[in-house]
Amino acid sequence: MRGTNAALGAAGLTAFLALGEAVPRLGIVREAYFPPTSRIASAFADELSDDAFWTALGDTLTGWALGLTIAASAGIVAGVLLSVVPYLRQATASTIEFLRPIPSVALIPLAVLLYGTELRSVLLLVVYASFWQVLIQTLYGVQDVDPVAEETARSYGLGTWARIRHVLWPTALPYVMTGIRLAAAVALILAITAELVIGAPGLGARIAVAQNSQAVPEMYALIVVTGILGLLINVGARTVERRALAWHQSVRGEVAV
């Protein structure tokens, strides 16, 4: 069963690549706009042997990782704090509901003025966008704490810190992991966007350069790289989530399906 699915998937992928080769070759779209798969593949190979590419990849990953780390830590701390301190959750609800949907790209002009093409520009966008993902999931998770478990912990005289550690955190953990997984994807999108639009060094900036110099196959190759990067991040985050929470029902349910 698994084997058949993998074979079908491979067939689908092959068909997709073959289509990418055939469509421009047959003149259905112009080769100048949509180079055949083989041209993209060779541009891809060229990129891999170019040091500047690896530097750009490193820059993108630095912005992504740093931004994600800051956003995740801030999101978790804020989420737990808001839930533990009485009234804080109610008092901040309206503000969060207002700030969360603000598109982070609105901050692009500000980032340009303040930091130019520095890494900090990227971080501003990445952190703003991914912070909410982690915060919201953490808040959901803490809300999900079984009142009976909480009561039990209280009745045994567990202090605030012990309650956070033994009751609140284990319950919230699956949600936090989901939040981090979502944030990881969003962080990559924003890191690339910042580089693409602002020109901060990285894969995004390299795509912009390729576009401006009409190097179409290179541009496609770089886009494929960002796709692979996104795929690896998704798969990696899901694996970590599953490993860390092998015991948890929500994960088990997902695996079983």
Residues that bind other proteins (CB under 8 A): 1, 4-5, 8-13, 15-16, 29, 33-34, 87, 90-95, 98, 100-110, 112-114, 185, 188-189, 192-193, 196-197, 204, 207-208, 210-211, 216, 219-220, 222-223, 226-231, 233-234, 257
Q: Which is nearer to other proteins, 10 or 48 (CB)?
A: 10
Exposure string for 109-130, b = 16+ CB within 10 A, e = fewer = eebbeebebebebbbbbbbbbb
- Least separation in angstroms between CB 157 and other proteins: 28
Cα radius of gyration rounded to whole Å, the chain: 23
Distance between CA atoms of 129 and 109, rounded to whole angstroms?
A: 15
- Determine contact, residues 207/219, Cβ cutoff 8 Å: yes
Please report, as a single letter, which amino acid is at residue 147. P
- Least separation in angstroms between CB 254 and other proteins: 11
Structure tokens at 208: 């912009």
- Least separation in angstroms between CB 70 and other proteins: 19
Q: Which residues contact 7 (CB under 8 A, 6 or more apart)?
A: none
Helices (H), 26-118: 37-48, 51-84, 88-99, 108-115
Q: Which is nearer to other proteins, 184 or 245 (CB)?
A: 184
- Least separation in angstroms between CB 92 and other proteins: 6
Distance between CA atoms of 183 and 67, rounded to whole angstroms?
A: 10
- Least separation in angstroms between CB 102 and other proteins: 4
- Least separation in angstroms between CB 190 and other proteins: 8
Q: Which is nearer to other proteins, 12 or 58 (CB)?
A: 12
